Amino acid sequence: MTIRADAPRIEDRIRLEPDGRVTVFSGKVEFGQGIRTAFAKVVAAELGIPIDRVTIVLGDTAQVPFDMGTFGSRSIAQDGEILRRAASAAKPLIAAGRPLEGPIPDDAPVSATPLAAEPRRVEARDIVTGAARFVADVRIDGMLRGAIARPPVRGARPATVDDRAAREMPGVVMVVRDGDLVGVVAERQAQAVAAAQALEIDWTAPAPSADDTISLPINEDAGVEAALAVSATRVAADYAMPYISNAPIGPSAAVADVRGDGATIYAGTQRPFGLRDEVAAATSLPVPSVRVIPLMPSGTYGRNSLGDCAIEAARLSKACGRPVLLQWSREEEFAHGPARPACALDIEAGTDANGLFTAWRYDEHTNAHGYGGSLDKARAPFTSGRNAVPPYLVPHLAVTLHIEPSPLRTASFRSLAAAENVFAIESLVDEIAFARGEDPLDLRLRNTNDPRLRAVLEAVAERSGWRGRTGSDGRGLGLACTLYAHGTYIAQVAEVFAAPNGRVRLGRFWCAIDPGRVIDANGIRNQCEGAIVQSASWTLLEELKQRGGRVASTGWDTYPIATFRDAPTEIDVHILSAAGEPPTGVGEPPGVPVAAAIANAVFAACGARVRELPITADRVRAARR
């Protein structure tokens, strides 16, 4: 399919079927965030037809127009708008019986047709009846199972491989060596895994990393130090977050069917076109002969920006000449899947006697965020430096991003660096308010003139009873907010209970969000609730333990995440829709202020200022005054 990014056309996006149904094409992919439903609602509303007359095709590289990938919470803002305008242009053509062809107009009025309230999710019925097909559910005639021999540590390479025992094991079809990849294909899953474990491999020690720290100024101001020096209130603090795992419930899986003249790949990828190119390179096939068909993986929160599992499956399939399903084990996913970067955040700010910010200096030390942990300097401020600039009026602002080498593979995790930056920024604001002896809500309101940020702050304060709060008996409320990268406004209040032994339990949680025009209110609520539970999990529980790149957390017993017992008791999501503003996005933003809201609530509950995540009972006890 031709790239027509600059001139999108109706025929690339909407097709009228002989039975009157409508098929819609998008390069975005669904992994549980609900865009298939949202797209169907947008198109159905514009065309004025029932939602069950609309079929959405997502990400199949043989059918959809080119797309960079599904990340950054951009699906609704970008493709949702293109599809809406395409449907708007298609409607009179359908009515006139004319072919659906022509340019998609740059602008189109929003249809007055109400968006369908039901179904809540178009895939729901299939999921609850077992009819849904995830990547690991694909079954093809002649398909084998793969397993990969993993090095003990990143970067180690196989020096010698003794496969005599493995080759004789039941069901084994082939031991595959392809460069540094050593794997097994077998008739059954358990056979492939057992044979891979029976390989005797001497691994070389990895070469020491040649990477240096890269420092990139995001905002420079030579006057910061002088302004800080004369500030009436000045607070400096260091915050830190550990490596965490994406920790999908289903480990990575892919099915590859590589033939002499082309390949078909079923994968849970966020970048179907990028993966197509990578598979073509890995199998020496021409790019147009490779078709990537995205299917639902388990939930993916950035991890599937990497095509690692699918590329391995393709190499195994090419070697044995048969389709191969490769599903990583739980241990592989923890030890060899990409981690969210660790960070050390050195931040300092001052106010004048009236509580107006005078100066702000921030040095963010982290590893490479973004797909593949790639170090693209031009994009770094939007990935590894996302939301490093505070959403407040600051006359003197210096922000520097330091990207350090990592012993682990790193990649995007929902919101990239925004989560770490907003943890530091919003914790510091709370510390400054305490130092000044004032309400942290007032400090925030005084230092912004953005009406939409003020609106979410005031809304969350009202719904949570912030003004009338009383702290006692280990109960506390904490406030945090952000203007997420692309324009979604969020403010949140967490309620926590801190026990005498330091253990923190979540109570209620309030979230006010302004994502512009609302497409799917239930979808927004579900994303907010999920992001809050997930972020509370890494705030309170998660740390991927490793030493020199050797990961020690390889199961749910050594890497606990929030369960039904740990979730907040209630989550109140209040949606503010700014009139006339285009839709932004909600997949990533609602998780961003959570850590600071909880940390600030812990401080309110028991006086413990915990600056390093996760907020464990030990850290709370140590920090309690």
Partner 1 sequence: MKYRLDINGVVRDVDVPRGTTLLEALRDDLGLVAARYGCGRGQCGACFVLADGRAVASCLIGVEQAAVYRIVTVEGLAEAGGDAVQRAFVEEDAMQCGYCTSGMLISATALLQRQAAPTADEIREALASNLCRCGVQLRAVRAVQRAAEERA
Q: Residue 587 Cβ, how far from partner 1 at the closest point, in Å?
A: 10
Contact at 8 Å (CB) between 298 and 248?
Answer: yes
Nearer to partner 1, 171 or 395 (CB): 171
> Within 198-217, which residues bind partner 1 (CB under 8 A)?
none
| Structure tokens that stand for 465 in this block | 């009873």
The nearer residue to partner 1, 327 or 351, going by C-beta atoms, is: 327
Pick between residue 124 and residue 229 the one whose CB is nearest to partner 1: 124
Q: Binding of partner 1 at residue 529 (CB under 8 A)?
A: yes
Q: What separation in angstroms does the CA of 469 have from each of 439, 493, 569?
A: 11, 12, 18
- Among 392, 359, 390, 347, smallest CA distance to 233 is for 359
**Contact status: 117 vs partner 1 (CB under 8 A):** no
Give Cβ neighbours of residue 93 (< 8 Å, ≥ 6 apart): 10, 99, 100, 101, 102
DSSP code of residue 519: S
| Coil vs helix vs strand at 224 | helix
Instruction: Return the biggest CA–CA distance within the chain.
Output: 79
Q: Which of 557, 579, 580, 625 binds partner 1 (CB under 8 A)?
A: 557
**Residue of the chain from 468, 564, 579, 580 that contacts partner 1 (CB under 8 A):** 564
Sketch the per residue contact string, 124 through 143, with partner 1: x for CB under 8 A, - otherwise. xx-xxxx-xxx-xx-x----
Output the smallest distance, CB 589 to partner 1, in A: 14
As measured in angstroms, the least distance from the Cβ of 380 to partner 1 is 27
Q: List residues bridging with 184 in a β-sheet.
A: 147, 175
The four Cα atoms 587, 589, 594, 595 give a dihedral, to 10 degrees, of 100
The CB-of-567 to partner 1 minimum distance in angstroms stands at 4
Per CB under 8 A, which region of 389-397, 461-469, 495-503, 532-540 contacts partner 1? 532-540
Structure tokens at 451: 């009406």
Where are the extended beta strands (E) located within 110-232?
Answer: 144-148, 158-162, 172-178, 181-186, 200-203, 214-219
120 binds partner 1 (CB under 8 A): yes
φ/ψ (deg, to 5) at 231: -70, 145
* Nearest residue to 237 (alpha-carbon basis) of 342, 347, 343, 366: 347
Using CB under 8 A as the binding rule, whether residue 545 contacts partner 1 is answered as: no
Single out the residue of 69, 146, 183, 248 in contact with partner 1 (rule: CB under 8 A). 248
Burial 333-372 (b: 16+ CB within 10 A, else e): bbbbbbbbbbbbbbbbbbbeeebbbbbbbbbbbbbbbbbb
What residues from 228 to 247 belong to the interface with partner 1 (CB under 8 A)? 247
Q: Which of 11, 123, 238, 363 binds partner 1 (CB under 8 A)?
A: 123
Site pattern 300..329 for partner 1 (x: CB under 8 A):
xx-------------------------x-x
β-strands 233-241, 343-351 pairing: antiparallel
Among 31, 371, 489, 603, interactor with partner 1 by CB under 8 A: 31
**Alpha-carbon Rg of the chain, whole angstroms?**
26
Q: Which of 59, 407, 568, 614 binds partner 1 (CB under 8 A)?
A: 568
For partner 1, which residue of 236, 249, 287, 393 counts as binding (CB under 8 A)? 249
Query: Does 589 sit near partner 1 (CB under 8 A)?
Result: no
Q: Which of residues 168-187 bind partner 1 (CB under 8 A)?
A: 170-171
Are 399 and 573 a contacting pair, CB within 8 Å?
A: no
Question: What is the helix (H) or strand (E) element at residue 298, kind and residue range?
Answer: none
Q: Under the criterion CB under 8 A, does residue 121 sit at the interface with partner 1?
A: yes
Closest to partner 1 by CB, 297 vs 585, is 297
Q: Which of 526, 539, 546, 584 binds partner 1 (CB under 8 A)?
A: 526
Q: Which of residues 389-448 bind partner 1 (CB under 8 A)?
A: none
Should residue 565 be labelled a site residue for partner 1 when binding is judged by CB under 8 A? yes
CB of 37 to partner 1, least distance (A): 9
Residues with Cβ < 8 Å from 112, sequence gap 6 or more?
none
Of the candidate spans 269-277, 337-345, 379-387, 556-564, the one that interacts with partner 1 by CB under 8 A turns out to be 556-564
Residue at token pair 């069901």 = 171
Position 547 contacts partner 1 (CB under 8 A)? no
- In whole angstroms, the minimum distance from the beta carbon of 585 to partner 1 comes to 16
3-state SS, residue 448: coil
Q: What is the DSSP letter of 47?
A: H
Torsion, Cα 128 130 132 137, to 10 degrees, reads 140
Q: Which residues bind partner 1 (CB under 8 A)?
A: 31-34, 119-121, 123-125, 127-130, 132-134, 136-137, 139, 170-171, 188-191, 247-251, 296-301, 327, 329-330, 522, 526-527, 529-534, 537, 555-557, 561-565, 567-568, 570-571
